[in-house]
Structure 1
Amino acid sequence: MSNKVKLLLVMFFAIVPALTLSAGEQEDSTAYLFRFVPRKDMFYSPWGGNGAELARLLAAIDRNREAIENGQMYLCVTSYGAQGASGERISKTRRNRVKSELIVRGRIKEMNFVTDKNVGEPYGDEYDVVVVRLPASVEKVAEIAGNDAADKVEAYNKAENSGQVVEQAPETDETATTETPVREYQAIQTQQAAARQELPEAEQTDGKPTVYNLALRANLLRWATLTPDLGVEWRVNRNVGIAVNGSWTSWTWKDNERRYALWEVAPEVRWYIGSEKRGYIGAMYKAGEFNYKLSDTGKQGNLMGGGITGGYQLKLNNALSMDFSLGMGCIHADYDKYTVIDGVRVKRGMETRNWWGPVQAGVTLVWTIF
């Protein structure tokens, strides 16, 4: 095997763990995680354990109600999800969905929140989530609500840590005391409706999320050359996918004078890009054996290699997509040359060849299982 091919393989196996690694957030007891269906802004209590997380947060609000109402403790609300104009609008609506649940069910007010309007991506390996932190950090309160609010929170924290919390009367602002949670809820609902009207039509349609966990694949270009090809792809998360395709065929004709036989296995790691995560770049590796005799001289041997891939998935419906892909790299082949005399295979020498250029092409039908 040439030094170039060895270097290519080393690069491939170095890229794979780097792409599949997902940075996990250290568990934070002050963080409450609410998950959303990809590209949707509706808050579903049964989805992703939201009901249990909401109950846990409501209990924490009850325990700290006095400090929250006195302005000594805030809830920080942050969105994580797709970037871009449409993604930020969805994230804004999601924040308001969660806040409206807390206002109505937790009996708190808009003034008790500090809302981080920046959209972070991602939260550990989680996308399409809203994170509520109780209590909000002093730094975040200073950044959003101002230094006076932050000083009040810091003084409360110091007094609490020293065991000398001083009770303060709630603010007597007539407007604040007469506002009801229902009015605040209605205001937020109006804001949510306006945000949804701004969304593109594609973002407002109901349907299955475009991101799947497992799908079956069939490369139609391979099938067109009478080479059956099947594979699977596992989406580790919204960004990373691992695909494996395998091909096999065996044909003879002209009284065994002509031969076309092949098997290959090609694993690939992909990094999906774009707001809809349909385009991708990746790294692939392939290995196999072949036996071609399309003229008087046949070639039989093995191959291996790999390269960089790129492509785009065109969604046909909720279950089917077309995957257009191309890979560039190097294939290394060691093979024997032979002829057939009176039905006996006669060896005519050995050869080694490296091919640099296109190493993979696909027009692949993808069927989403779940």
Structure 2
Amino acid sequence: MKKYVTSLMLCLLMLPLVAQTQGDTIYHFRFEPGNDGLYTAYRNNGTELSRLLACVVQNKEAILAGTVPIQVDGYCNSLDDETEARATARIRSNRVKSELITREGLTEACFTTRNHTSGGDYVTVRIVIPTSPSETGPEQQAETERLAAEAQRATAEQEADRLQAEAEAQHIAAEQARLVAEKQQTEAEQTRQAAEQQRTEASHPAHDSYHLALRANLLRWATLTPDLGLEWRINPSWGIAVNGSWTSWSWSDKDRRYALWEVAPEVRYYMGEKKAWYLGAMFKAGQFNYKLSETGKQGDLMG
């Protein structure tokens, strides 16, 4: 709202000057928001440049002599940083002046330049052509009305630029919100997958990864009966094992005897979340020879 009040005040300030100088003409050159390039194909800039060059050619001698000043005002309000906006406005003013300097041989002394950080994204060029006091009447009024119409047109174009800039800002904000939502969704999915992996690892302990394992029954070893076994873990729930034992002891001049061998194949079904417990079916076969007193026992065993 502030920049439109400023534009309206500038228009009102120009009207008294128009009444005094019938030959005053204002030319508008539009710039893309945030850009300092002067494009002739953008927003009728080519037509405005042709009109400006024609006016300069017509009044070139007076312009070079300094009796017809050229006022250049550069504007930029599409940048947040005021220093950067003023620098962009200055570059825009120089772009327009360069066209007149290179095409018609004007010099920097021909211009009065001011740069602003409000009002819009454009450059205005005003050529003040003095008129004689006798030139009054309908022609002066028509010129005043024409300049007022140009000011209204500039205000309307500024409003259109503002609406377009707001629409672009809303689009950018919506796109940023969408990207943030996608990022959050991706992070949530990654968190879910990590939790699922942890749950899977908890339900399948690290020892599930092996296929063969060497086992021993420490209770049998405590009875001086060496025992070893080999287990094949088919999957986390099922395993096949084979255990074997052997021992042979004699004492009291061989009047005492403790000897045996046995083989026991087994099928196991592991239970629980950590697969720490199992139910199994085992078959045992072998031979024994016990003589712990005067009478001994010897034979085959099966269970």
Q: Which band: TM-score by shorter chain? A: 0.3 to 0.5
Per the normalisation by structure 2, the TM-score is: 0.37
Per the normalisation by structure 1, the TM-score is: 0.30
| Structure with greater proportional strand content | 1
**Structure with max Cα Rg:** 2
| Structure with greater proportional helix content | 2
